A and B are shown apart, each in its own frame.
Chain A
Amino acid sequence: MIPNKDIKIFSPIIREAYDRIPALDWATDEITEGIASRIDAVMKEKGISKKQLAELTHRRPSDVTRWLGGGHNFTCKTIALIQQALGVPLIEIAK
C-alpha cells in the first residue's frame, strides 16, 4: 500500500515493495515521524544542538541522530525524557 497518493512511482519493483509493507507500519511511521519533527522544531526554536540535547538527556549524540531520523520506535520513557529536557510537551493525550 502506498501511504501517500501524491507520490508518483515510476518503477514496478519499487511499487511492489511498497505493496508489501503492512498498513500498520505506515501508521507507526506517521507517529514516529510526527514526534521526530516536533523534537526538531523545538530544538530549532530554542537553539538547542544535537550535542546539547544529548547532554541534557544523558544520551549519546548518535541516539539524538536516531530520534530525529523519523523511524525510531520511541518508548514512553524516552518521550518523557526528551519532554523534560526540552521543557515542552511532544505529544498530547486525547481526553
Chain B
Amino acid sequence: MAKTATIKTIEQSEKVGLYSICFDGNNLTEYEKFVQKFMDDATLNKDFQMIFRAINRIVANGALERFFRPEGKMGDNLAALSIDSKVLRLYCLRISDQILIVGNGGAKTTRTYEESEELSGYVMDLQKFDALLAQELKKGSIKIEQNVITGIESASFEL
C-alpha cells in the first residue's frame, strides 16, 4: 500500500540543509523517530550518541563524501554514516555536499540490512523517495539551490 510523505527541515547551517521524511499521520519525521527511539536506550546510547554527533559534524562541515559509506545500488544516493559503531545504523540520502535527507535506522543484528525486515523497510522507503525526488527535480517542480531544496515542504510524495 502506498504511503504519503512530506519533507521537513530538521536543521539548517551555512554548509548543509538537513531534511527528513514525515509519513502522513505521524507527528515526527523518520529521523526524529530514530532519535526518540534511541536517546534513552541504555544499551545503545553510546552508539546513538556517535551517530548523533556524526550528524552534527555533517551539518557543521558539509555532507562530505568521507563522512559516508555507500549502502545502496549503483546510481542511488543511499548512504550510511561512517562511524565506529558496529551495532546501530542510520540511513540517509546524500544528495550533494550541501543537502542531506535523513531517514530512520536501528540495531543491525543481521549480516546485511537486506536480511532485516525493519532495516530493509527503512532503506526501501529512502530508495523510493530518492527516485521520486529525482523525477520532481527533473520536472523542475522542486529545485536544489545550494543548501536549500525549494518547493519541497509544500510537495507530497506517494511512496
Tell me whether A and B are bound partners. yes
A residues contacting B by CB (< 8 A) are 3-4, 6-11, 13-14, 16-18, 20-21, 25-26, 29, 33, 36-37, 40, 65-66, 68-73
Binds A, one of B49-57, B90-98, B114-122, B124-132: B49-57
Number of A-B residue pairs at CB separation under 8 A: 91
B39 on the A face (CB < 8 A) = yes
Once the chains are docked, how many angstroms separate the CA of A70 from the CA of B8? 26
Chain B 48-93 residues near chain A, CB threshold 8 A = 49-50, 52-54, 56-57, 59-61, 64, 66-67, 69, 81-84
A65 nearest CB neighbor, chain B only: B82
Q: Could you tell me if A4 and B32 are in contact, using CB atoms closer than 8 angstroms?
A: no
Would you call A8 and B11 a contact (CB within 8 A)? yes
- With contacts A17-B52, A29-B53 known, is A69 near B81, CB below 8 A? yes
The chain B residue with its CB closest to the CB of A8 is B12
Interface residues of B (CB under 8 A from A): 8-14, 28-29, 31-32, 35-36, 39, 49-50, 52-54, 56-57, 59-61, 64, 66-67, 69, 81-84
**B82 cross-chain contacts in A, Cβ below 8 A:** 65-66, 68-69
Q: How many Å lie between the Cα of A11 and that of B19 in the bound state?
A: 11
Chain B residues with Cβ below 8 Å from A36 are 66
Given contact pairs A8-B11, A14-B11, A33-B61, A66 touches B83 in the complex (Cβ within 8 A): yes
- Distance in Å from the Cβ of A23 to the closest Cβ of chain B? 12
Please name 11 further chain A to chain B contacts, defined as beta carbons within 8 Å, in addition to the given A4-B13, A6-B14, sorted by A numbering.
Answer: A3-B60, A4-B56, A7-B11, A11-B11, A13-B28, A16-B39, A65-B66, A65-B69, A65-B82, A71-B54, A73-B84
